[in-house]
Each structure stands twice: as structure tokens, then as C-alpha cells.
Amino acid sequence: MERQRRIPEATVARLPVYLRTLLDVQTDGVTTISSERLAELAGVNAAKVRKDLSYLGSFGTRGVGYDVDHLLVQMSRELGLTRDWPVAIVGVGNLGAALANYGGFGDRGFPVAALIDADPTKVGTTLGGHTIRHLDDLPAVVNELGIAIGIIATPAAGAQEVADRLVAAGVTSILNFAPAVVTVPEQATLRKVDLALELQVLSFYGQRDSIGSSLREELGVSAESTNSGA
């Protein structure tokens, strides 16, 4: 009788938030936490916390709450954080260099293990203890260092090619910073961080608020009457 092992995507995306929150309270010496409290700290709804945690099959204690240490163990295991995931950064420019210099990843089990670039003048130079290797060496680098995750920090034009090469080299997890649509085969996972998109979304809601305010001023307080039609 197998446990229900399909964790919803939305839940997966929240687990890291819970994890960080739990690490925080653990540091403060807290040993037990209720869904209510965890929800407050993680900025979500308590029912959601309980449902999310139930997917882990982890048991809280009714009347008491969850054991922080136990929860951390379960969660780390589920997220695959019991091992290291060596990362390769492809494209060592402005952003790539900043990421390479950032210590926060190694701490959390994602050591930067390799830097890759296509620019011959950069290849061979050293940054943060790593010698920059050429893109053509990717298969060798991945093999030698056991690269599990590739970070794309090249200009948009090169992103798809880099992704293809990463996948060809056996890397199935990719984080893309380039503002381009990149596709990968089904067996691989791609996530993206798109700052321009974030800013444009902020712009949308910012503008809307302004308009909203103006309208509200003009029309009185009837702005609430947005009936949810059908």
C-alpha cells in the first residue's frame, strides 16, 4: 500500500520556504511549531501548511504541533537536500561573476563547481577559485565534476544552444537567467528567473493602482463593486 507520492507543484515551490523558516526557528531554540505559527512566519494560510506537510507523510502531533527537527529531516530528504548538487555557471559576465562570488549557494548544498564561458579571452582566467573552462569542454566538465545543475547566465541569443549542450552533456536541471524562451526535452527540468518580467508585472500593478486611486477619487468609493460575473 504505497503512500500517495504525487506532491503538487505548488507545494514543491513552498517547501523551500517552510524549510528556511524552520531553520530560522530552530536556530532560536524552538523545538515544536504549530501549523498556525509556521503559516504566519512563512506568509501563507495555515490550512495550506497542513495540507502541504501532509504530502510529506510526516506526522505532527495533534494538540501539540510539529517537531521542528523531524520536519526538517523529512523535508530535506524529500527535496533531495541530503546530497550536494554541484552547479556549473555558464556565461561568466556581470551576472555570472556575481553568482560565482556569492557564497550562499555552497552553504545550502549547491556548490559552484565549474565556470564556463565561450569567450576565449575569459577561458583560463580564474574567479572565486575556479578556472573558467570553455563551452566545448562541457561534457568533460560535467563528467569530471558530477555537475547536476546548470545555470545559464549568457545573453539571450546563446541561451537555447547552451541549454541544448547542457542536456546533451547529461545535465537535466537548468536555471535560466537569460530573457529568452528556452525549451528542454521532457526528462529535463528548466526553471527561469526573468527580472524584466518581474519589473513589467510590477509596472502593470503599479499603473493599475494609480488608475484605481484616480478612479476611486473621481467616482467615490464604488471601486469595490467589481462583480465576479459568471
Ligand X SMILES: NC(=O)c1ccc[n+]([C@@H]2O[C@H](COP(=O)([O-])OP(=O)(O)OC[C@H]3O[C@@H](n4cnc5c(N)ncnc54)[C@H](O)[C@@H]3O)[C@@H](O)[C@H]2O)c1
Partner DNA sequence: CCGACCTTGTTCTCTTGTTCACAAAGTGCC
Partner DNA sequence: GGCACTTTGTGAACAAGAGAACAAGGTCGG
Query: How far apart (Å, rounded) are the C-alpha atoms in residues 197 and 83?
Result: 32
Measured from the CB of residue 188, what is the shortest distance to ligand X in angstroms? 18
| Contact between 150 and ligand X per CB under 6 A | no
Measured from the CB of residue 67, what is the shortest distance to its own copies in angstroms? 21
Measured from the CB of residue 82, what is the shortest distance to DNA in angstroms? 22
Query: How far apart (Å, rounded) are the C-alpha atoms in residues 202 and 45?
Result: 24
- Backbone φ/ψ region at 156: left (φ over 0), alpha (ψ -120 to 50), beta: alpha
Give me 126's grid cell. Answer: 580564474
Q: Of these partners, DNA, its own copies, ligand X, none, which one is at the site of residue 47 (CB under 5 to 8 Å by kind)?
A: DNA
Task: Return the residues of window 152-211 that contact ligand X according to CB under 6 A.
Answer: 153-156, 158, 161-162, 177-179, 195
Q: Of these partners, ligand X, its own copies, DNA, none, which one is at the site of residue 197 (CB under 5 to 8 Å by kind)?
A: its own copies
Interacting residues toward its own copies by CB under 8 A: 4-6, 12-13, 15-17, 19-21, 41-43, 78-81, 85, 87, 94-95, 97-99, 101-102, 104-105, 108-110, 148-149, 172-175, 179-181, 183, 187, 189, 191, 193-209, 226, 228-229
The correct pick among 135, 142, 151, 175 for binding ligand X (CB under 6 A) is 135
Query: How far apart (Å, rounded) are the C-alpha atoms in residues 55 and 1?
Result: 15
Angle between helices 9-27 and 46-55 (to 10 degrees): 100
Task: Return the residues of window 17-56 that contact DNA according to CB under 7 A.
Answer: 33-36, 44-48, 50-51, 53-54
Angle between helices 9-27 and 35-42 (to 10 degrees): 100
CA 146 → CA 100, 108, 171, 208, distances in Å?
A: 18, 17, 9, 48
| Three-state secondary structure call for residue 175 | strand
Q: Are 51 and 26 in contact (CB under 8 A)?
A: no
C-beta atoms surrounding 85 within 10 Å: 17
Q: Of these partners, ligand X, DNA, its own copies, none, which one is at the site of residue 11 (CB under 5 to 8 Å by kind)?
A: DNA
| Contact between 76 and DNA per CB under 7 A | no
Instruction: Give the binding site for DNA (CB under 7 A).
Output: 8-11, 33-36, 44-48, 50-51, 53-54, 58-66, 228
